[in-house]
Structure 1
Amino acid sequence: MDQRAFSRFPSTSAVSSTPGVTVCHLLDKIIPDRVQVSDFCTCTNCSIQNTARETICCREVWDSSCKYSENLKAKMGDLQCVTQVQEVIDIVDRSLQLDLFHENDVFLKRQLGLSVSTRVLASDPHRHRRFAAYTMLTFFLHGSTGMKQRVELPSCLVKFVRDRWPNSSGDYTGFSDAYNNNE
């Protein structure tokens, strides 16, 4: 197995993420800076995120026809917000599933010879659950995205996860692309 592959969902597809790209993959377009939630949110559950490409509303997918937008539309159906989808609620709320997912992720990364920290930090005891939730939600919404392919989650969904599994300091990493170091 290619050790550069995303540990849970290996793929042979080519790596296309490159540093400096500011295209939002979920909407397949460049997102302008957004200062206020009212600039973009129509589901009423969003918040401003670290970057413009993360500051997107789940309702914005209705104006896009890229494959990731189509996936999200199919899951949302007639609901006002993706955070109302029952499977999304189930994924985010089940701490045991998130913990087991994290443990499995650690195991798989070790099998691939990748370095991994298993520590749960006292300063942010829910970080592993947020990461597990984001990963599981991405897989639920889009299936396997392939080797080192990451897709932004709507702001409302990120806020939903953070509200359920908060960091007491309010500091969050935010979305980051996966890059191929061999390019």
Structure 2
Amino acid sequence: MTTDIEELEFFVQPYQFEPSARRVHFNNDSSENDSSSSSDASESEGQLHDVTYWCTCGNCQQMQVPRDRKCCNDCLQCVEKMGQHSCICQHDGFVANCLNPHVLEVSFYEYIEQQGPVGDDEPIHEIYRYIAYRRFTRWIWHVLGKKKRKVIPSCVVNKIRQTFPSSSGTYTGFKYPDDY
């Protein structure tokens, strides 16, 4: 005799054949005040490319994609951690947690334990760079949940890239889970 669950598998479910909604990025998180959103239609293209227009910490660098153009001062959680510093990259917690290779090495072992081994051809700087992004996200936003993403401020991304550079000099930038 079949169970109710097995019988339900053969019935058409609501919205079963509807396409997935395309994710559009809006900077309107209730937990953040993003007053300098680069998606604002009133901003001219020249202003979007001028770092001084959207960066207030003085350490951001130009990012190729508009959604990556975010300063740490536009992130409420970063501002709360910064204290007297003008940039989150100056915070001792950032340096200790995200730039220290010994801390990242231990996090790498934890990652392997949870996710399984990585390929032998993976460059260590690339691995440490990804782990540093994860550690920064955990430090600032704590637990986001599965397939939840936050744009990391440009100053943080660039400081991590300077510390753990890509051998090819190319970088991916922020991606939503659906972009993979």
TM-score (norm 2): 0.72
Q: Structure 1 CA distance, aligned partners of 2:179 and 2:62?
A: 29
Any idea what SS the aligned residue of 1:166 has? coil
1:107-143 CA distance string (max 9 Å, x none): 2123xxxxx633343xx44110010000001000111
Match for residue 172 of structure 1?
A: 171
Identity in percent: 26
Q: Displaced runs of 4+ in structure 1, greater than 6 A?
A: none
Output the amino acid matched with 1:82.
I
Structure 2 unaligned regions, length at least 5: 1-20, 40-44
Q: Structure 2 CA distance, aligned partners of 1:128 and 1:58?
A: 23
Output the amino acid matched with 2:109.
E
Give the CA deviation at 1:75. Answer: 0.6
Decide which structure has the larger Cα Rg and report it: 2
Q: Structure 2 CA distance, aligned partners of 1:58 and 1:171?
A: 23
Residues 125, 167 of structure 1: 8 Å contact kept: no
Give the CA deviation at 1:103. Answer: 2.6
Structure 1 unaligned regions, length at least 5: 1-17, 62-68, 111-115
Task: Evaluate the alpha carbon distance shift between residue 170 and residue 36 of structure 1 in structure 2; reply closer, same or farther with a 3 A threshold.
Answer: farther
Match for residue 117 of structure 1?
A: 118
1:37-67 CA distance string (max 9 Å, x none): 1221121110122321111111223xxxxxx
Match for residue 142 of structure 1?
A: 141
Q: Structure 1 CA distance, aligned partners of 2:178 and 2:34?
A: 18
Q: Structure 2 CA distance, aligned partners of 1:21 and 1:58?
A: 22
User: 1:16-35 alignment to 2 at 5 Å?
Assistant: 19-24=22-27, 31-32=38-39, 34-35=48-49
Give the CA deviation at 1:19. Answer: 4.2
Aligned residues: CA RMSD: 2.5
Give the CA deviation at 1:27. Answer: 5.0
Q: Structure 2 CA distance, aligned partners of 1:22 and 1:35?
A: 19
Going by fraction, where is helix more abundant, 1 or 2?
2
Output the amino acid matched with 2:93.
E
Output the amino acid matched with 2:25.
T
Q: Which has the higher contact order (CA 8 A, sep 6+)?
A: 1
Count of residue pairs the alignment pairs up:
149
Output the amino acid matched with 2:135.
M
Any idea what SS the aligned residue of 2:49 has? coil
